[in-house]
Structure 1
Amino acid sequence: MAKCSECGEYENLPYQCRRCGQSFCSEHRLPENHECAGLNEWNDPGGVFDSGFDDSVESGNSGGVGARVRSRIERETGTGGIMGAFRGNMTYVFLGLMWITFAAEFVVLFTAGGAAFSNIFVLSTGALQQGYVWTIVTSIFSHSPGSFFHIAGNSIALYFFGPLVERYLGSKRFTAMFIITGAVAGLGQIGVGALLGDPVTGVLGASGAIMAIMGFLSIVNPNLRVMLLIPPIPLSIRTITILYAGLSLFGVVSAGSVIPGAGGIAHAAHLSGLLLGVLYANVADGRRNVPNQIGSGGGGLGGPGRGRF
């Protein structure tokens, strides 16, 4: 007897997929029924397996265009289509967006000035009051141009921890989690700043979403072992998350440093993201297990293309 990796039901005679190696019940044994990661290996961008039959032959003009549009969407979002390339790879998409945005920040600074930079990349009360609502999202992928460590630190954390959560949730839910927690963390930062007497607080960076990922992992697999770089000692993800949460909490309430963004660190955003990640982990159901330790290659998942959408 084995547990189906897709629906969680126990099966007396399980089927093992030859492409992903997982066990499934009879209902989910076919690769397309469990959205097998191995489907990416088929590499059918041109729709080779599509018969090309046009439903409009029998249905006349009614629905002919609609049928062709639906067929095109299915091909592009299916196994070998353009959107299929993002299945299991959203962590790396977000990494790419962060560095592309980082480069764009310098272009805007040198060509349009600091005001344009703030209006495009920085989430603040003033930006929202002026209608620059896009900063709720753009600020997630923006990082301080004066601190290479800011984007480097977030990139390292996302590279190692992101694939674990994406593998657990699937790419669609991971994408929603990253964007929503990043946005709410930023809004939490400027909200707490206003409450503590700093109504012009601005925030940018993916740290809130990163903390949500760490908070999520500390619940679904608190004993996940992580080797710190400085000092080089192994710690559990829960211990690291608690230490970082304590540091952020101290940054918010420490004497003489009441403003949550003191020192250039968005402590309130970190705490907001962490809380959201912990809350979501308590209600989310996982489709894949989180490993007990992190290896090289994006969390030991074998690199891009190993998750599920």
Structure 2
Amino acid sequence: MTDHAADPAPDYCYRHPDRPTYIHCQRCDRPICTECQTPAPVGVLCPEEMRDARASIAASRGGATGTLRRLLPQGVPVVTYVIMGLCILVYLAQVLIGSVVTGAGALDPSRIASEPWRMLTSAFLHSPGSVLHILFNLYALFIFGPMLERFLGRLRFLALYLVTALGGSLGVVLVYQLWVVTDRASATWIGTLLAPSAALGASGAIFGLLGATIAMRKALGVQPVQLIIVVIANLAFSFFVPGIAWEAHVGGLLTGLAVGAVLMRSRRTDQRTTQILGIAGVAAALVIITVLCVVTHPEAYA
């Protein structure tokens, strides 16, 4: 008689957390359901490993695509490292050239009508007077970026980073909009917590990565309690330490949750169009809200 109590418990497909399975990818050993399996000479492969295998074959054939893939090997978080490198280069320019660089790219909500690029360029700037500002953000990006980039792929990760950076900037704009709507009265509410200010730094996008990690925690295999503790601790730090743009952190976090939810609900290979439209929809919503702020009070935006 078979002792069912001794049978091993099934794992759950990393792309479909509600589907139990006993099958694992031959290469990465992640559990995969029947829908996600591709037969290989030995065992089966998950979609990511199958994509990497096809990329290796294409790279070995040469040509422009093959050359590019050899220069950008699979598994290396190239986008994360490029973003970190850009932040370092811009920071050096801020220190060496002076306030011109910071003034041209920092997020000043009152100037976004004529200089909308500030909504994104501010995410690559840091306070030139505090090296800890950029070091903390680079460290956080180094911790969460590679994990998400390897899981999502380079293009999805880049989209996640840029959209959440935009969401962080919108948080700053909304606090400024509240100040405008209330005829500056909001600046005295809750102390100076709702006083508008300029902002710069990658932390809005980094909180976006945290939000996306929360939304995708099951697929990533991340312990939710530890992750939530990290998020709460960093948010508390944002609120209680003066000079930190908490609104960018909240805006980035909420945007990351939204983009992460889209990515999780459209992760099957046959849902690529749905996924693209979903992420584009989140970005469009951020842009529309920003435009509404500007057109309803044009006198407050240069």
Please indicate the TM-score interval, normalised by the length of the shorter structure.
0.5 to 0.7
What's the counterpart of residue 128 of structure 1? 112
**Equivalent position to 1:99, from 66, 81, 88:** 88
| Separation (CA, whole Å) in 2 of partners of 1:244 and 1:12 | 36
Moved more, 197-206 or 156-165: 197-206
| Residue 187 of structure 1 pairs with residue 166 of structure 2 | no
Deviation for aligned residue 1:148: 0.7
Deviation for aligned residue 1:91: 1.9
1:104 to 1:85, Cα distance in 2 relative to 1, 3 A: farther
In structure 2, give the amino acid aligned to 1:243. A
| Residue 271 of structure 1 pairs with residue 250 of structure 2 | yes
Deviation for aligned residue 1:144: 0.6
| Residue 117 of structure 1 pairs with residue 106 of structure 2 | no
1:117 to 1:216, Cα distance in 2 relative to 1, 3 A: closer
- Structure 1 unaligned segments of length 5 or more: list them: 53-71, 227-234, 252-262, 288-309
Deviation for aligned residue 1:275: 1.4
What's the counterpart of residue 170 of structure 1? 153
Tell whether the 8 Å contact from 1:6 to 1:34 is kept in structure 2 after alignment. Answer: no
Tell whether the 8 Å contact from 1:6 to 1:28 is kept in structure 2 after alignment. Answer: no
| Separation (CA, whole Å) in 2 of partners of 1:90 and 1:150 | 21
What's the counterpart of residue 281 of structure 1? 260
In structure 2, give the amino acid aligned to 1:36. E
Tell whether the 8 Å contact from 1:17 to 1:23 is kept in structure 2 after alignment. Answer: no
What's the counterpart of residue 47 of structure 2? 34
**Equivalent position to 1:142, from 117, 121, 125:** 125
Tell whether the 8 Å contact from 1:192 to 1:268 is kept in structure 2 after alignment. Answer: yes
What's the counterpart of residue 209 of structure 1? 205
Tell whether the 8 Å contact from 2:172 to 2:245 is kept in structure 1 after alignment. Answer: yes
Q: Superposition pairs for residues 190-269 of structure 1, below 5 Å?
A: 190-196=173-179, 197=184, 201-221=197-217, 224=222, 236-248=226-238, 263-269=242-248
Deviation for aligned residue 1:116: 5.0
1:33 to 1:165, Cα distance in 2 relative to 1, 3 A: closer
Q: Secondary structure at the match of 2:129?
A: coil
| Separation (CA, whole Å) in 1 of partners of 2:18 and 2:96 | 53
**Equivalent position to 1:75, from 62, 66, 74:** 66
Tell whether the 8 Å contact from 1:4 to 1:10 is kept in structure 2 after alignment. Answer: yes
- Structure 2 unaligned segments of length 5 or more: list them: 1-9, 188-194, 268-302
Tell whether the 8 Å contact from 2:204 to 2:252 is kept in structure 1 after alignment. Answer: yes
TM-score by length of 2: 0.61
Q: Once superposed, what is the RMSD of the aligned Cα atoms?
A: 4.1
Size of the aligned set, in residue pairs, is 237
Deviation for aligned residue 1:32: 9.9
Deviation for aligned residue 1:13: 9.6
TM-score by length of 1: 0.60
In structure 2, give the amino acid aligned to 1:28. T
What's the counterpart of residue 61 of structure 2? 49
| Separation (CA, whole Å) in 2 of partners of 1:140 and 1:122 | 8
| Separation (CA, whole Å) in 2 of partners of 1:249 and 1:14 | 46
| Separation (CA, whole Å) in 2 of partners of 1:218 and 1:3 | 18
In structure 1, give the amino acid aligned to 2:26. C
| Separation (CA, whole Å) in 2 of partners of 1:147 and 1:32 | 47
What's the counterpart of residue 17 of structure 1? 26
| Separation (CA, whole Å) in 2 of partners of 1:194 and 1:7 | 41
Per-residue CA deviation, residues 237-271 of structure 1 (Å, 9 max, x unaligned), is 202212333454567xxxxxxxxxxx321111011
Q: Secondary structure at the match of 1:36?
A: helix
1:117 to 1:38, Cα distance in 2 relative to 1, 3 A: same
1:156 to 1:21, Cα distance in 2 relative to 1, 3 A: same
In structure 2, give the amino acid aligned to 1:274. L
1:38 to 1:278, Cα distance in 2 relative to 1, 3 A: closer
